[in-house]
Amino acid sequence: MITMTDPAWRPSSRAPRLWAINAALVWIPLFIAQIVWAVLDGRWTTWPHTVVFAASVVLAALHIIVVPLWRYRVHRWEISDTAVYTLTGWFDQERRIAPISRIQTVDTERGPIDRLLGLATVTVTTASSAGAVKITALDKDVADKTVAQLTEIAGRTQGDAT
């Protein structure tokens, strides 16, 4: 019987901060909408406003504080001479293994918050209908080395990546 171990490497230690900032940006419009609702309604302390605001604060706190830490405990990645392997998620966890022989492209992506934190995402596109394999929240230098390593391994692998 073959057993698989989890991938060895974690994302950057700054990954939870990235995920927390992204989560906070999702909640800002909701809190603005609640303020507008209370101003237009003119009754800040009525039970609907209080209940919706309290529930929003609790859910936002969970999303901004707990989820990034949970994700960091789960997220892993690894590259071997034969495959790229990721484990992602927090509630719904996904394992993805992409054979090196199936790699078509390797890309690096850095959004504004990624750049602010010195992070990058490496996307490995394969001939799979399941989509690309993403290695998120890597330190920029680790992402650059990962792209170079994948390019080098894929270059010496025989096959047509289809």
Residue 128 pLDDT > 60, yes or no?
Answer: yes
Residue 137 backbone zone (phi > 0: left; psi -120 to 50: alpha; other: beta) = left
Distances (CA, A) of 33 to 43, 56, 96: 14, 11, 38
CATH topology of domain 76-155: PH-domain like (2.30.29)
Residues 24-42: tens digit of each pLDDT: 999 999 999 998 988 888 7
Domain ranges of the chain: 15-72, 76-155
Write down the pTM of the prediction. Answer: 0.87
Distances (CA, A) of 59 to 29, 46, 55, 64, 91: 14, 20, 6, 9, 15
- Split at pLDDT 50, 70, 90, the class of 85 is very high
Residue 4 pLDDT > 80, yes or no?
Answer: no
SS3 (DSSP) at 4: coil
Residue 161 pLDDT > 60, yes or no?
Answer: no
Residue 162 pLDDT > 60, yes or no?
Answer: no
- Measured CA to CA, the distance from residue 84 to residue 7 in angstroms comes to 9
Strand (E) or helix (H) holding 8: none
